[in-house]
Amino acid sequence: MTITGWILFGTIALVIFAFGVGAAICLFDNKIGTAVTIFVTVLVVAGILAGMLWFFSHTASGRRAMVDQKSDFNNGIERTITVYTADGKEIASYSGKIDISSADGYVKFDFNGKRYIYYNCFVESIAEIPN
């Protein structure tokens, strides 16, 4: 799970535990009602954790989030970048550990100690996705 996912889970879990424990204390005078409320609260939090872990390991968007985080922490991932003109002629090609970003009209990346910015062109990026 990503760091953002863990922070989100922790926040949700704290809120649910606070409401669960608060409800158990305020609503029930007996030990059985309090125990059931706390047990249900733990089950709900465990279910949310299981759902989030499933999301990050079994969905395409969850896996992409994990790859993006690994790329950020490792200063890029192994990839080959090929830059083309509008008519399809190859301008340049780069291979190695590269972190690439794009915005409207340009692509930017650092490679071998130099920053490359290409405007108004087509860029193909083929990455080796780590497990």
Residues 92 and 57 in one domain: no
N-to-C CA span, the chain: 13
Task: Give the domain range for residue 110.
Answer: 76-127
Write down the pLDDT at residue 36: 85
pLDDT in tens, 24-58: 888 777 788 888 888 899 999 999 999 999 999 99
Residues 83 and 60 in one domain: no
Is a pLDDT exceeding 70 seen at residue 78?
Answer: yes
Compute the average pLDDT of residues 59-71: 88
Q: Of 69, 97, 118, which residue sits at a domain end?
A: 69
Is a pLDDT exceeding 80 seen at residue 128?
Answer: no
What order of strands is seen across the sheet that includes strand 106-111? 100-103, 106-111, 114-119
When divided into structural domains, the chain yields a total of 2
Residues 52 and 103 in one domain: no
- The DSSP result for 12-26, as a single string, is HHHHHHHHHHHHHHH
Residues 46 and 84 in one domain: no
Residues 120 and 103 in one domain: yes
| Residue 28 DSSP class | -
Percent of the chain surpassing pLDDT 70: 98
Write down the pLDDT at residue 131: 63
Q: How confident is the model at residue 4 (pLDDT cuts 50, 70, 90)?
A: very high
Residues 50 and 105 in one domain: no
